[in-house]
Structure formats: structure tokens, C-alpha cells
Structure 1
Amino acid sequence: MSMSGRTALLAGATSAAGLAAAAALVDAGARVITTGRSAERLKPLADVGARIEVADATSFTDMSALARRIGAVDLVLPLVGGWRGGGGLAGQSDEDLDALLPSFQAVRATSRAFDASIRASDAGRFAMVSSTAVERPLAGGANYTSIKAAGEAWTLAVAQGYAKAARDSDRPLRAASVILRAEGALDPDALARAVIGLWDADATESNGTIRLL
């Protein structure tokens, strides 16, 4: 399915992964909107052709206001991330947990704010970036894997919501919520390919699935 003319929102996209995904989507013909909390850090995204918006991806208020401004959306991908860990179980500090929490908050805020928009699209996609570490949690990464596992659970709940809305309205399922799992450090190019590949299968096949990067 072509991305030409479709709208993609990359929330919290000021990382190398965000830049790679934005560039790939622009090259595929999409209208790309990227957010971050720093106008300066958003400049490279504007350079590859993305529209930039200063907004907090973890804020439901900010994301809801953005949803009203930009209208129709076909893809929402929160990219707030980061890693903290080490020190065994005793080393899983509250400070590290607080630093990791925005990853989950961004999944919550964006999926809620753009729920109606994704369901209104004829091929809407919501995706989150997770890690294969959730399958084999280690004591030294307990904070990190717990946050990712929470994000995955939320993303699967989003998938159920899309399916239920389609059933209740007696319409075909056209929205899909997908988990993208990275093994080890996130490869920006692999993420970019996976994002473009979110439309390789229709929503009935994709909704609620886990894809390895």
C-alpha cells in the first residue's frame, strides 16, 4: 500500500531513529509531522522535509491539541525512548525508573489523543518500539523491561480497541496497532524499513502483532 499522500506523525522524534524514519516516510511520499520539546533539535527533521511541531509527546493535552490542528492521520509512532540499567536488582533506582517512564507515557498519550484519527483512516497504523528484552528480563534491566512490557500491554489493548470499534460499527477492520521489537540497540535504518513495512499486510493480519526489527 502506497504512503503517497498519507500523513504520518512521529512523536518525540529527535533521535537518530526518528530522523531515519522521517526521511524514509518523506521519500515514500508521506506528509510527515514530527514533534519534540526543542525547536533546535527538530531542525534536522525539517531539513529532510518533515513538518516540525514543538510539543511534548508524553502530554495528552499537547497531543490532543496537535490532533485537532493536523486533522487526518494514517500513522502514529511515539519514539520517546532511552535506556537506564545495570547494578543488578538493587541498582534499579527510582531515578532510573522516572527517567524511563516517559517512554510509556508517550505510548499512552499519543494512542489516546489520536485514537479517533487512526480509526477514521482507511489504513490507520499505531506502532510502538519495544525490545526483545521483555522476553528474557534481567535483574540489571528490570526497570527498562518493565516499562517496555507496560508499553506492549497498552499497545495490545489499543489493538483490541480497534477491533472492537470495527465490530461494533459493523465495518471492516482498517486500523492496526503493532509492536516493533528491536534486539539490542535500535538500528535506525531497520526501524525505517519496518515503519514503511507496516502496510505490507492489511489490518486484519497486522493488528495486535509483534514484528522483529
Structure 2
Amino acid sequence: MSVSGKLVVLAGATSASGLAAARVLSGDGARVVAVGRHRSKLAALAEEVPDARLEVCDLTDEAEVGALAERIHATDGRVDGVLHLVGGWRGGGGLGGQTDADYRELEGSFTALRHVSRAFDEDLRASDAGRLAVVSSTAVTRPLAGGANYAAVKAATEAWARAVAQGFAKAARDAEQPLRAASVIFRVKSLSGLEDALAQRFADLFVSQADEINDTVVELTDPSL
């Protein structure tokens, strides 16, 4: 198995991590659909990765995500992989500085995950190597008062990814079929400098057996440290 020929959706592709993922996955032979909210930022990605197909979508809007899934199915077929890169940081100021506005902004990444994972759940379960991966933070294991909003959202993200993993396993058991889909959590302190490593580790998930990686946490650290 490999990622070559697989259809992969990059959810939140306009970041440095999205660009790296598009470049690495496309170079490995994957069919990449790069999804972002801003067409201008997606255009910049297309200049470097011309093979990637671009989709503009507000992933926090359930109806828009449903329409996105329909377009992808009509144009590209069934999705084999989803790398969820919607994120962001707001924090500081101790517990008193954890404003509701900051929380709602951060919560958008979790809302997007809920919408995207549900929209493509059936695809991933039907694929011969369905893969969902989310990016979490070491803040989950050691939350600080000044990052309580952020840690809470990342903890919810991990819980959702693990629930997806359980759903994959249950569907396989109920169908009396081997497990072919896997949900994986990538946990980082900071993605800065790890963009290519994240992309390659995601591509490597397609080489691994689903029952070996489903419901696992992969710690990504800076190799230079």
C-alpha cells in the first residue's frame, strides 16, 4: 500500500503545513484536493503545486461542507484520506484572559473537524486504506491557564478523532471485515519547522496496517533538537 493514487482532502490547506502537505503528497502520487476559505491563498498554493485541485469552502458551515463533498464525489470520486489542518492560536493573560471571543475563534477548528469527518466518514470506511489525521498539541497533556481555551479545543479534537477510530473499528467488526480505515492524532508542541515531517508522516500512514495505527497518538518533535 502507498498514498500513490489515493484521493486526499487537505482541510485548511492555506497554511504552511497545507502547502507542505500538498507538495509532499502530490510528489508521492496522491490526488490532492486543497480546501481553504480564501481563494487568493489557495492560488498561491497552486503556483507551487499545480497538480492540486482547489476548493473554496468555509469548513465551519455544515451546508458548505456538504456541497463540497458532493462536488468532490462528482469530480474526483471517493475520498481515501483527510488531513485536518484547520487550527490557530489565541491565548495568554492567565485564566482571566481566556475570553469568549478567543474561545469561539478557536472552536471553529473543532467545528470544521466535525463537519469534514462526518461528510467523508462513509468514504473512508469504504476505502481500502481510509485515513483521517488531526493535528493536536502537547498542551492537551499539560494545559496552562493562559492557554486553557486552546487546550480545551485540542482535547475535544482528540476525543472526536478517537470516536472516529472507534466507529471505524465497530463498522469493520459488524461487517465481519478486516479493519481498513484508521484515525490518527498527530501531537506537536509547535508545527513550525515540522511541516514537511507532518506531511511525510501522514503519507506513511497509507503504508501501515490500519489495525496497527487506528486510535493512536503520534508525537512529532523537531529532529534538530
Normalised TM-score (structure 2): 0.91
How many residue pairs end up in the alignment?
213
Displacement after TM superposition at 1:3 (Å): 1.6
Given that 2:106 and 2:153 are in contact with CA atoms closer than 8 Å, whether structure 1 keeps it comes out as yes
Residues 1:88 and 2:90 aligned together: no
Correspondence list, 1:129-144, <5 A: 129-144=135-150
For 2:25 and 2:191, locate their aligned partners in 1 and report how far apart those are by CA, in whole Å: 22
Equivalent residue in structure 2 for 1:97, among 99, 103, 115: 103
Q: Deviations over 1:167-202 (max 9, x none)?
A: 111111100000011123442122112211212421
Quick one: which of 110, 124, 145 aligns to 2:130? 124
Which residue in 2 is equivalent to 1:52? 54
Note if contact 1:45-1:51 (Cα within 8 Å) is conserved in structure 2. Answer: no
Cα separation, 2, equivalents of 1:112 and 1:39 = 24
* Structure 1 position 44, deviation (Å): 2.2
Structure 1 gap segments, 5+ residues each: none
Matches within 5 A, 1:105-124: 105-124=111-130
Name the structure 2 match of 1:184.
190
3-state SS of paired residue (1:204):
helix
| Local SS of the residue matching 1:199 | coil
Return 38-47 or 87-96, whichever deviates more. 38-47
Give 2:139's aligned amino acid: A
**Is the CA contact (8 Å cut-off) linking 2:162 and 2:215 kept in structure 1?**
yes
Q: Which moved more, 1:51-60 or 1:143-152?
A: 51-60
Q: Does 1:25 align with 2:17?
A: no
Contact 1:156 1:208 in 2 (8 A): yes
Alignment match of 2:202 (pick from 185, 188, 195): 195
Which of 42, 49, 70 aligns to 2:72? It is 70
CA contact 1:57–1:78 (8 Å) conserved in 2: no
Q: Which amino acid aligns with 2:203?
A: I
Residue of 181, 189, 193 corresponding to 1:175: 181
Report the Cα distance in structure 1 between the residues aligned to 2:64 and 2:184, rounded to whole angstroms: 23
In the TM superposition, residue 106 of structure 1 has moved relative to its aligned partner by 1.3
Q: Does the CA-based 8 Å contact 2:59-2:65 persist in structure 1?
A: yes
TM-score when normalising by structure 1: 0.96
Give, in whole Å, the separation in 2 of the partners of 1:56 and 1:113.
Answer: 14
Using the alignment, how far apart are the partners of 1:56 and 1:121 within structure 2? 25
Deviations 1:83-109 (A, max 9, x none): 011111111111110110111011101
How far 1:79 moved relative to its partner? Answer: 1.1
Shift of 1:45: 2.2
Whether 1:36 aligns to 2:47 is: no
Structure 2 Cα separation of the partners of residues 193 and 4 of structure 1:
13
Match for 1:210: what amino acid? V
The alignment's C-alpha RMSD in Å is 1.1
Match of 2:213 among 203, 206, 209: 206
- How far apart, CA to CA, are the structure 2 residues paired with 1:2 and 1:200? 5
Paired residue for 1:165?
171
Of stretches 71-80 and 118-127 in structure 1, the one that deviates more from structure 2 is 71-80
Aligned partners of 2:2 and 2:207 also within 8 Å? no
CA–CA separation in structure 1 for the residues paired with 2:4 and 2:167: 27
Report which stretch shifted further, 200-209 or 116-125: 200-209
